[in-house]
Amino acid sequence: MSYHINHLKELESESIFILREVAAKFENPVLMFSGGKDSILMVHLAYKAFFPAKIPFQLLHVDTGHNFPETIQYRDEMVKKLGLKLIVGSVENALKSGLVTEEKGFNASRNGLQTAVLLDELEKGKFDAALGGARRDEEKARAKERFFSHRDEFGQWDPKNQRPELWNLFNNKYNIGEHFRVFPISNWTELDVWQYLSIEKVDLPSLYFSHTREVFFRDGVLLADCEYINKRPEEKVFKEIIRCRTIGDMTCTGVWKSNANTVEEIIEEISTTRLTERGGRTDDKRSETSMEDRKKHGYF
Amino acid sequence: METNTYKNTELLRFTTAGSVDDGKSTLIGRLLYDSKSIFQDQYDAIKIASEKRGEENVNLALLTDGLKSEREQGITIDVAYRYFSTPKRKFIIADTPGHIQYTRNMVTGASTANVALVIVDARTGVVEQTKRHAIIASLLQIPHLVVCINKMDLVDYSQEVYDKVHDEFEDFASKLDINDITFIPISALLGDNIVNRSSNMDWYEGSTLIYYLENVHISSDHNFIDVRYPVQTVIRPYNDDFHDYRGYAGRVAGGILKKGDEVMLLPSGFTSKISKIQGPDGELTEAFPPQSVTILIEDDIDISRGDMIVRPNNSPTVTQDIELMICWFSSDKELRERGKYTILHTSQEVRCIVKEIRYKLDINTLHRDLESKEIKMNDIARISIRTTKALFIDPYRKNRITGSVIIIDEATNNTVAAGMII
Q: Could you give the domains of chain B?
A: 7-215 (3.40.50.300), 229-310 (2.40.30.10), 317-421 (2.40.30.10)
Residues A259 and A142 placed together within one structural domain of the fold: no
3-state secondary structure of B62: helix
A chain contacts of residue B250, beta-carbon cutoff 8 Å: 20
- Sort B243 into a burial class: Cβ within 10 Å, 0-12 / 13-18 / 19+: exposed
From the list A144, A174, A195, the residue facing B78 with the nearest CB is A144
A chain contacts of residue B236, beta-carbon cutoff 8 Å: 53
For each of chain B's 422 residues, which pLDDT tens digit applies? 344 567 788 999 999 887 766 778 788 888 887 777 777 777 777 778 778 877 766 776 666 665 666 656 655 667 888 898 888 899 999 988 766 667 888 898 999 999 999 999 999 999 888 888 899 999 999 999 999 999 999 999 999 999 999 999 999 999 898 889 999 999 988 889 998 899 999 999 999 999 999 999 988 889 999 999 999 999 999 888 888 899 999 999 999 999 999 999 999 999 999 999 999 999 999 999 999 999 999 999 999 999 999 999 999 999 999 999 999 999 889 999 999 999 999 999 999 999 999 999 987 788 999 988 899 998 999 999 999 999 999 999 999 999 999 999 999 999 999 999 99
Residues A67 and A162 placed together within one structural domain of the fold: yes
Answer whether residue A74 is part of any domain.
yes
Give the pLDDT of residue B2: 42
Answer whether residue A199 is part of any domain.
no
Residues A51 and A188 placed together within one structural domain of the fold: yes
Q: Which residues contact B93 (CB under 8 A, 6 or more apart)?
A: B14, B15, B16, B28, B31, B81, B82, B83, B84
Are B320 and B348 a contacting pair, CB within 8 Å?
no
Distance between CA atoms of residues A31 and A184, nearest Å: 11
From the list B64, B219, B237, the residue facing A52 with the nearest CB is B237
Answer whether residue A197 is part of any domain.
no
Q: How far is B24 from chain A (nearest CA, A)?
A: 18
B chain contacts of residue A48, beta-carbon cutoff 8 Å: 280-281
Residues A172 and A209 placed together within one structural domain of the fold: no
A chain contacts of residue B288, beta-carbon cutoff 8 Å: 3
Task: Residue A58: name the closest of A84, A20, A95, A90 by CA.
Answer: A84
Residues A230 and A275 placed together within one structural domain of the fold: yes
- Using the Cβ of B44 and the Cβ atoms of chain A, whether some distance falls under 8 Å is answered with no
The distance in angstroms from the start CA to the end CA of chain B is 46
Residues A35 and A178 placed together within one structural domain of the fold: yes
A292 and B66 within 8 Å at the Cβ level: the answer is yes
Q: How far is A98 from chain B (nearest CA, A)?
A: 32
Give the pLDDT of residue B70: 63
Give the pLDDT of residue A1: 47
CATH number at residue A59: 3.40.50.620
Residues A158 and A266 placed together within one structural domain of the fold: no
Range of the domain at A31: 7-192+289-296
Residues A96 and A209 placed together within one structural domain of the fold: no
Are A115 and A297 a contacting pair, CB within 8 Å?
yes
Count Cβ neighbours within 10 Å for each residue of A252-266 and write b for 16 or more, e otherwise. bbbbbebebeebebb
Give the pLDDT of residue A286: 58
Task: Residue A192: name the closest of A1, A86, A45, A79 by CA.
Answer: A45
Distance between CA atoms of residues B237 and B218, nearest Å: 37
Residues A249 and A139 placed together within one structural domain of the fold: no
Answer whether residue A170 is part of any domain.
yes
Asked if the bond preceding A184 is cis, omega within 30° of 0, the reply is no
Helix, strand, coil fractions of chain B, as percent rounded to 5: 20, 35, 45
3-state secondary structure of B131: helix
Give the number of A-B residue pairs with CB atoms closer than 8 Å.
184
Answer whether residue A102 is part of any domain.
yes
Q: What is the arithmetic mean of pLDDT over A110-130?
A: 88
Q: How many domains does chain A have?
A: 2
Are B298 and B270 a contacting pair, CB within 8 Å?
no
- Using the Cβ of B11 and the Cβ atoms of chain A, whether some distance falls under 8 Å is answered with yes
Provide DSSP, B97-125.
Answer: --SGGGHHHHHHHHTT-SEEEEEEETTT-
Residues A180 and A209 placed together within one structural domain of the fold: no
Answer whether residue A211 is part of any domain.
yes
Answer whether residue A154 is part of any domain.
yes
* pLDDT over 50 (residue A155): yes
Answer whether residue A1 is part of any domain.
no
Distance between CA atoms of residues B391 and B310, nearest Å: 14
- Using the Cβ of B296 and the Cβ atoms of chain A, whether some distance falls under 8 Å is answered with no
Provide DSSP, chain A.
Answer: ------HHHHHHHHHHHHHHHHHHH-SSEEEE--SSHHHHHHHHHHHHHHTTSPP--EEEEEE-S-S-HHHHHHHHHHHHHHT--EEEEEHHHHHHHTSS----STT--STTHHHHHHHHHHHHTT-SEEE----TTS-TTGGG--SEEEE-TT----GGGPPP-BTTB------TT-EEEE-TTTT--HHHHHHHHHHHT----GGGS-EEEEEEEETTEEEE--TTS---TT---EEEEEEESS---TTTBEEEE----SHHHHHHHHHH-SS-GGGGBTTTTTSTTHHHHHHHTT--
ipTM (interface pTM): 0.92
Residues A55 and A31 placed together within one structural domain of the fold: yes
Residues A22 and A147 placed together within one structural domain of the fold: yes
